[in-house]
Structure 1
Amino acid sequence: MQRLAVAVLTLASGSVQAAMAVLGADHNLTAVVANVDAPMTHTILELSAVYVAPHFDFIAVPPGGYITVSAPDGSQAVNYTGSRRDFYAEYIQGEAALITYTPPTDIVQASPDNAFVIDRYASGAGETAAIEAICGNDDTKPAVCFKVLDPPKYKATQAVARLLINGTSLCTGWLFGSEGHLITNNHCIPNAQTASNIQFEFGAECATCDDPNGAVQLGCKGQVVATSAEFINTDHTLDYTLVKLNVKDNTSLAKFGYLQARWTAPELGEPIYIPQHPGGKPSRIATLLDNQTIGTIESTSIQTCSPDEVGYSLDTEPGASGSPVISTKDNTVIALHNCGGCFNGAIKLNKIVDQLTQLKLLPANAVKGTSPSPNTTTPATTPSRPTRAPATSRPNSPAPTLPTTTPSPSSPVPSQPTSSPAPSSRPSMPCKHKTRKPKKPKQPKTTVPSSTPSTTDANDGSY
């Protein structure tokens, strides 16, 4: 079984792209098939795995029937109905996933049709074997630690999502504007096909600051609000992708709020913080350096994974790609994290805003305040061959219920706002690249059929 790995791009400058973390791998199995008129159960077991995500070649469930994917004890249950092709079920924490099919009760004639076919599954041991972009010590803290001490920072993390991509890879993204859009890196979601198979999980945080699961990949499971998204736009040079979530039935995004950018560029010495899901862990916030001072923008033009990025020494890890770099002064997002090393690097968000404005794709309420007049604004960056979304219809999915008030994460008055400190003159800190050898693989995976059907009635998260 493949251990956690990271696609790493080493640049001439010595920086390392903060690529998405590869958590696991696909595993083939003998097809698991259910007839439409017969109940069945099946268990997929992967010893020592931290998660299992069955992959459906298709489902075609008749009215009144449903498929349930859950942990063996019936927890984490999600129901699936209707028809759909080529997708991963929502991941189950632990080393086993139980698949139960319940047929309709009114079937009077046998049918040769299949209700579903599972052709493979994804799983992983969650062991880090990768270069990490931690500068010195890891000074990030669980987001819940800020709930009382610094409410504006905690509130901003509610709009930040953990992304499980194609069942095996991890990134971070965040709600951008009030219409259900999410933004992350191009190297996380490069195309529409990838956008069609992602679990967008919000509220993945632990209940207490000292919960040991706070340091565990895919720990403290949140709410998966969507498993696919409409592809809106991407740009390789600016390393961003904008999508619009195909939110599940009876699911609202309102409680998560949303983040806003600003029209102006990041400033040298500007204090910042970064909500993120490093390595796919529960949400954490980077705000302090090793010397316990507030992190700041230490350079406004470094040549790293992309030209002309901002640089800072706040800690990140693979899987944090796509995180918002937020100004402590006004709680607006000023950059999109995409590059590891010390300095870490991020794309200036005003460049992305300029491009989306030119393309008339900027989401509603995505930017705080009104656009500056033409004679005062920074000239817009020329788009570098942006890729528009294909002219295809959006899947039938209800629009998200969205807040109609001022966005919650960016509207609170920042705690103890201060003027920008003078530009930092301290030398950049050496980057301690940390690696950990993967453990010896466990025994080969097996699939174990269960003898009795499950009676789990799991309606939370029904499709």
Structure 2
Amino acid sequence: MTLFLLLLGLVVGVLGDVASNATKPLFVNVTADLYCFPPTLIPRLEYSKILNDTTAQFLSLYFTYFNLPQDDYLTIRAINSSAQQTYIYTIDNVPIPPFFATPIFGQGLLLEVYSLGTIDCSSSMGFTVKNYRYSGTSNSVEADCTPTSNDLPPTCNKVPQLPYFRGSQAIARLLINAPKGAQWCTGWLFGCQNHVLTNYHSKLMPAPLLLIFVHIVLYAQPRLATLPLPWAIDHSREYSCGIFSKFGLCTCTAECFCVQKQLFENGHSTYVGGMPIYIPQHPLGQGMVVGIKTPASGDGQSLTSTYSNCVGYQIATLPGSSGSPIISTANAVVGMHSCGGNCKSGLNAGIPAPLIIKDLVRQNKLPLCAIAPALSFFNPPLPVFTALGTLFQRALGITMDVYKLNIDASNQVLELEVTSYQQSLVSNTFNDVLGLCDGSYFNTKLYILYQNDNAGVSVLTSNDNRYEATDSGYELKSYDTVLNFVVNAGTYFVVVGSAEMIDLDAVNAATATITSAAPAYTGGALFQCGQPGASYGNYQLSVRITGGNDTITSWTCQMPVLVRVKNATDSSYNFLSSCSYHKEPNLNIESEFQGSIRKLQNTTATSVLHIALTILAGSMVSIDVVSYQEFDNGTTISSAFTENGNCDATYFDAVLYLFQDTTSNNRKILDVKYLLAIVDDIPLHLINEDIAFGNSVRDPFLKLYLPPGKYVAVLGRYPLGVHDAVYLTAPTPLNDELLGPWKDGKVSNNGNVKVLFSTSVPDALVPPQDPIDASQDNCTLWLLLSCF
């Protein structure tokens, strides 16, 4: 009977398998003198040596030299072992030295050399052993049936109808005996073509002549198999969760008894969260135990299937457990254990079965009978609500939206899905996934936080991107996030953000909703038709839970209004060729005014303009500053004064700030935590577009979406800093003469400016109030300068 070994990639986690080079000295040096006798027809036993070690898990001799005559051979066989183990080595079948011999699973071996003699007494004939390896991990201890243990051997539940017994009969204890070290792991038989599936241990397996040793557990009927691995490995695929896919096939050189094969669940859904599971395993290379309970003595279950695209759970594992099947109580494999605790948030992680199936199919290596019919033993989450929202680019980062959920039932699978991304990873084509006729989107990320006993918040779980194994829309939606987790009754916060959002960002956003603190921001980029730098990005959040509407007793969200294009056929919209469904609204001038900054007499300060704005309806808004009266080559714009409406020929190099107004309209001291935008010169991508009224790139131009609310536009002389912008005056820098204001190219005491405000929604802007002037009576109201 033939046995194949299939290896699945693994980057070992904190509790992943650790290689051991536990060796003891043993010097054997057989020279050419042993073979110098006339040739015979019957091999003669010319040398033998016994090795006993009562502390050994196995015995593997380390050959540093091997050059036997052509017809001679060396045997290594077990003594005092319940299983027959004999291995023959010739000059034709050994790897290039140095190498470790096939392990003898036992505590005694006999090495024998048989020779037919030779007339070539070359000094190069012979072999050398310098030490032997005896352990892959700590000493092996077979498990017992201690009632208090959360991990019990299946023989403790040896009842045919119990899943723990039935599902554990196909488990294999594997020893990797590579030049870099020996390592235990776990695998299992699956399919009906005698395959063994396990993890690929990247730290040990890249040896061209690697030996894997399989111990199939049949409860008193063990069989051992030596599997030399040919190097036919696929390096072309990288999994998420840090896992590389490398597969190899190899043939068993000894008889292997096949028992019940485990079957993959052919799940066509990404959902496996919440289902009861158990994990039969060989921790530390010891006797098999079955992980059934969690450390808190709860029943083992898959807590999430979106754990960086892995299955997440709290069933205990140890080094040597890698490669164990994750089995549902319906006796179907839903994944393979691959990463020990603290890989992320302290959960253990396994590769989901659909991901393994997909890659095996891709490589045409999926055995027959390996996939079970799709099962329906769980209750999928039910829809509760769907919300549309928008994230905004602000000066301090990208906003985050927070949803507060009150859940009144325990052991519920809460599942979240965000839809936003509109560009295919393969074809680069665009799709209006939200039906808003708007091409603004972002790479999403989700967090679930819970309110703790101290009225604070703590991170429960998070996920970026979606699970691609069973998602037909993956090419378009791979940057959209799906997140599920088993939750109990309590208060939870769902935070929607960009992919660069980290734990601290999510905690700050959720905390701000409780304490009414300043808004929190995260990093990243928002996109419009494939280009970064958009001022906003739309999304849709779908919330589902096992118990449906009756489970979530209330939900609220701290979020701005949705940016929406309401009239898809309105002729006032401009179409962008990169994604033709996107409609950029035209902006119409709603208000304009003129003002001045001045060097204050008897002081070393320059005035700063604070202009109050009120937005009545959410709208795209542009703020166009016109002041600078020189072309970029330094020549004066002689006719600019009349065109700009200024009363004289003074101007300055302007800097524009936009704040959310938190001062109850007194506008004297603004809060830098509510800064929305900073603009110095006109953005480079707008220089060639006819959208700004200024004649120089030194005039700022700002375009962004503003929800309804109160704002303050701040204008000052370059290089106005943000901490000066919140006041009505700014200190004069040392190089004041070089920074203006100017008149006819010469330094002036004041500089005029005109500001035009445009909106996409008619009457969305209340005409701005007159700016406050710091030059009169310590920040009292200043009458706007005008021409008479």
TM over 0.5: yes
- Deviations 1:347-394 (CA, angstroms, capped at 9, x unpaired): 212112222323333233322248xxxxx9523878xxxxxxxxxxxx
Q: Which of 339, 344, 359 is matched with 1:355 structurally?
A: 359
- Deviations 1:420-451 (CA, angstroms, capped at 9, x unpaired): xx945389xxxxxxxxxxxxxxxxxxxxxxxx
On the 8 A contact 1:164/1:200 being kept in 2, the answer is: yes
Does 2:472 match 1:379?
yes
Does 2:93 match 1:84?
yes
Distance in 2 of aligned mates of 1:67 and 1:380: 57
Summarize the Cα distance change of 1:112–1:155 in structure 2 as closer, same or farther, 3 Å threshold: farther
Question: Counterpart of 2:157?
Answer: 146
Question: Counterpart of 2:309?
Answer: 308
Distance in 1 of aligned mates of 2:186 and 2:73: 35
Question: Could you tell me how far 1:192 is from its partner in structure 2?
Answer: 5.3
- Residue 122 of structure 1 aligns to a residue whose secondary structure is strand
The count of corresponding residues between Structure 1 and Structure 2 is 340
On the 8 A contact 2:160/2:166 being kept in 1, the answer is: no
Question: Counterpart of 1:18?
Answer: 15
Question: Counterpart of 2:678?
Answer: none
Distance in 1 of aligned mates of 2:73 and 2:190: 37
Summarize the Cα distance change of 1:187–1:75 in structure 2 as closer, same or farther, 3 Å threshold: closer
Question: Could you tell me how far 1:241 is from its partner in structure 2?
Answer: 4.2
Answer with 92-101 or 319-328: which moved more: 92-101
- Residue 355 of structure 2 aligns to a residue whose secondary structure is helix
Distance in 1 of aligned mates of 2:267 and 2:224: 31
Question: Counterpart of 2:329?
Answer: 328
1:354 aligned partner, one-letter code? K
Does 2:48 match 1:41?
yes
Summarize the Cα distance change of 1:28–1:379 in structure 2 as closer, same or farther, 3 Å threshold: farther
On the 8 A contact 2:188/2:197 being kept in 1, the answer is: yes
On the 8 A contact 2:59/2:132 being kept in 1, the answer is: yes
Summarize the Cα distance change of 1:268–1:47 in structure 2 as closer, same or farther, 3 Å threshold: closer
- Deviations 1:96-143 (CA, angstroms, capped at 9, x unpaired): 53312344xxx4766648576545421239538xxxxxxxx8511112
- Deviations 1:226-250 (CA, angstroms, capped at 9, x unpaired): 332344546553355433232114x
On the 8 A contact 2:325/2:336 being kept in 1, the answer is: yes
Question: Counterpart of 1:284?
Answer: 289
Identical pairs, percent: 24
On the 8 A contact 1:19/1:339 being kept in 2, the answer is: yes
- Deviations 1:316-365 (CA, angstroms, capped at 9, x unpaired): 11110111111213x22111111112421112121122223233332333
Question: Counterpart of 2:545?
Answer: none
Distance in 1 of aligned mates of 2:111 and 2:149: 39
Distance in 2 of aligned mates of 1:178 and 1:18: 32
Question: Could you tell me how far 1:92 is from its partner in structure 2?
Answer: 3.6
Question: Counterpart of 1:3?
Answer: none
RMSD, aligned CA: 4.0
**Equivalent residues in 2 for 1:67-216 (5 A)?**
67-71=75-79, 73=80, 77-81=84-88, 82=90, 83-86=92-95, 88-93=100-105, 96-103=108-115, 107=116, 112=121, 117-124=128-135, 126-127=137-138, 139-148=150-159, 150-166=161-177, 168-187=182-201, 191=205, 193=207, 196-203=210-217
- Greater relative contact order, per chain length (Cα 8 Å cut-off, separation 6+): 1
Distance in 1 of aligned mates of 2:120 and 2:166: 52
1:140 aligned partner, one-letter code? D
On the 8 A contact 1:26/1:123 being kept in 2, the answer is: yes
On the 8 A contact 1:355/1:381 being kept in 2, the answer is: no
| Unaligned runs of at least 5 residues, structure 2 | 1-9, 36-43, 140-147, 375-468, 476-484, 491-788
Distance in 1 of aligned mates of 2:163 and 2:263: 12
Question: Could you tell me how far 1:45 is from its partner in structure 2?
Answer: 5.4
Distance in 2 of aligned mates of 1:74 and 1:157: 24
On the 8 A contact 2:264/2:372 being kept in 1, the answer is: yes
Question: Counterpart of 1:425?
Answer: 488
Q: Could you tell me the TM-score, scaled by structure 1's length?
A: 0.61
Question: Could you tell me how far 1:275 is from its partner in structure 2?
Answer: 1.2
Q: Which of 248, 253, 271 is matched with 2:276 structurally?
A: 271
- Deviations 1:167-191 (CA, angstroms, capped at 9, x unpaired): 6211112234233333322335765
Summarize the Cα distance change of 1:224–1:60 in structure 2 as closer, same or farther, 3 Å threshold: farther
- Residue 355 of structure 1 aligns to a residue whose secondary structure is helix
On the 8 A contact 1:146/1:154 being kept in 2, the answer is: yes
On the 8 A contact 1:270/1:297 being kept in 2, the answer is: yes
On the 8 A contact 1:9/1:17 being kept in 2, the answer is: no
Distance in 1 of aligned mates of 2:327 and 2:259: 20
Summarize the Cα distance change of 1:158–1:183 in structure 2 as closer, same or farther, 3 Å threshold: same
Summarize the Cα distance change of 1:268–1:300 in structure 2 as closer, same or farther, 3 Å threshold: same
On the 8 A contact 2:198/2:322 being kept in 1, the answer is: yes
Summarize the Cα distance change of 1:362–1:95 in structure 2 as closer, same or farther, 3 Å threshold: closer
On the 8 A contact 1:274/1:326 being kept in 2, the answer is: yes
On the 8 A contact 1:59/1:117 being kept in 2, the answer is: no
On the 8 A contact 2:25/2:131 being kept in 1, the answer is: yes
Distance in 1 of aligned mates of 2:336 and 2:302: 13
Distance in 1 of aligned mates of 2:70 and 2:276: 56
Question: Counterpart of 1:255?
Answer: 259
- Residue 247 of structure 1 aligns to a residue whose secondary structure is coil
On the 8 A contact 1:354/1:381 being kept in 2, the answer is: no
Distance in 1 of aligned mates of 2:165 and 2:204: 29
Question: Counterpart of 1:294?
Answer: 299
Q: Which of 343, 357, 367 is matched with 2:371 structurally?
A: 367
Q: Could you tell me the TM-score, scaled by structure 2's length?
A: 0.38
Question: Hey, which of these two has a bigger chunk of strand by percent?
Answer: 2
Distance in 2 of aligned mates of 1:324 and 1:337: 6
On the 8 A contact 2:87/2:102 being kept in 1, the answer is: no
Question: Could you tell me how far 1:197 is from its partner in structure 2?
Answer: 1.4
Summarize the Cα distance change of 1:345–1:42 in structure 2 as closer, same or farther, 3 Å threshold: same
